Amino acid sequence: MSYIRLISTADCSNCENIVLLAFPSDSELLSAHLKPDEHLFLKKALQRGVTSCCFPQTDRIVFVCFLDEAIEASEGVRLEKARQTASQLLRDIRHYKLDAVGIVSYCPHAITLAFLEGLVLSTYQFTRHYSQPEKRAAWPSRIYWICDAAPTETVHALNALIEAVFLTRDLVNEPHSHLDTLRFVEAVCAAAERYGFSAQALEAETIQQLGMGGLLAVGRASEMPPQFCILEWKPTLPRNKRPIVLVGKGIVYDTGGLSLKTPEAMEIMKCDMAGAAAVLGIFCAVAQTRLPIHLIGLLPITDNKVGSRSLVPGDVIRMYSGTTVEVTNTDAEGRLILADALHYAKRYDPELVLDIATLTGAAVRALGHHAICYMGTAEPLIKQALETSGMRTYERLVELPLWEEYGEDLKSNVADLKNMGHGPAGMITAGKFLQHFTDYPWLHLDIAGPAYLRAPNGYRPKDGTGVGVRLLFDFLQNYPH
């Protein structure tokens, strides 16, 4: 994995090409970097509503970006506009094939950092499977923040977060031919060793002894044995009295089982482990920044294949909790492996549990690719903090209800529960199913919409986006305790 690291410096001698970032009202401040005729052109362009200019000079190129300073916009919208402006700027930087570029900002640090975040996130590429990946590398190779008093810790945290997002994107983009169950576990253990948190993998024999019937049933037709990874980051003086547990869905490939998916849907099913990848990314960012939060990660990992041993619609399985489940649809497999993990989380007496999963097509139909469906039993203060993080990172959330009536659709004539309802609101009935396995403050995040894009959206690339990493890292940084 390679990525562009943001470098903060007060010296611009290493970087001839610069980007001037300012609000329109501060345009006079840019005169020190421009020739008189360029500054005059810039002022006239502003009058016409132009918000960006490029001035190729003899020995360098100067880009000018003006950000909207409308005070009526929310903080989240202003930060997102800065990220999107940076993403647009990257096209111009690449047009000129610049190896390095420095950012000189006259905006507040928060706006500048959002701009830098959008710029560096936009540089992501997944090229490892080309025969000559080095020829696919795109400019720039270095980005500098030219600032006399750059907040060093904040820059370090931003670099750590971007590295974690890129790791998550790489895992989601990796084809199943190169990332099966065991290779995913290897990637988890390698990340733990590199970043300094602990990782333990329970193998199939232990999973069988524990009686994790959901995980075992989903992986029954696979040639690869299921795995259950346990991650932990435990600093010396954590802010939380009891651990926060993150649970990530780790279906490395999903055919739908005997409830077979369509070819179009199956094309992208390497992404069905995006929840588990996001949890791993969060641990990498938390450990790099040494965040004082005691964190547990639970990753049930397997694939959902078709074979002679496949789970059959109508089968009844016994979950790790002892609950019996009638499997009416084998493509509703994610909730089966999550349910075992959610029950396992009880042994930690958790302060809060969040699960994150590409769980339902219903979530995509409800909100498209612009938001995360979420629901749960955590207190309003926690939900408000999560939604605030969602707006700040622009990984926005929409809360859905968990009314008792939705549970009616999960009643079975032959077992304690069905794994899938037959009516609308499938993302809610999936949440109701998961709720059955919890007895602690809990939130469920269905990221099926924004986790994998068919077309790029600014600094969010086509394919894996790494959604959830920035959201939950911000949430943990600002965790109300």
Q: Where are the beta strands (DSSP E) in 160-226?
A: 198-202
Instruction: Give the CA-trace dihedral at 361, 179, 354, 325, to 10 degrees.
Output: 60
- 169 torsion bin: left (phi>0), alpha (psi -120 to 50), beta (else): alpha
Q: Is 261 a catalytic residue?
A: yes
Q: Is 142 a catalytic residue?
A: no
Residue 319 one-letter amino acid: M
Cα 434 to Cα 342: distance, rounded to the nearest angstrom? 8
- Residue 153 is encoded by which pair of tokens? 């810790």
Q: Closest by alpha carbon to 355, among 403, 418, 300?
A: 300
Cα 200 to Cα 149: distance, rounded to the nearest angstrom? 41
User: What is each CA distance from 87 to 1, 109, 183, 325, in whole angstroms?
Assistant: 21, 18, 33, 47
- Tracing tokens 């179009």 back to the chain, one arrives at 264
Buried b (16+ CB within 10 A) or exposed e, 42-73: beebbeeeeeebebeeeeebbbbbbbeeeeee
Q: 261, 318, 346, 383: which is the annotated catalytic residue? A: 261
How far is residue 160 CA from its own chain's centroid? 14
Q: 78, 335, 460, 470: which is the annotated catalytic residue? A: 335
∠ CA 441-347-161 to the nearest 5 degrees? 65
- Residue 439 is encoded by which pair of tokens? 């007895």
Residues labelled catalytic:
261, 335
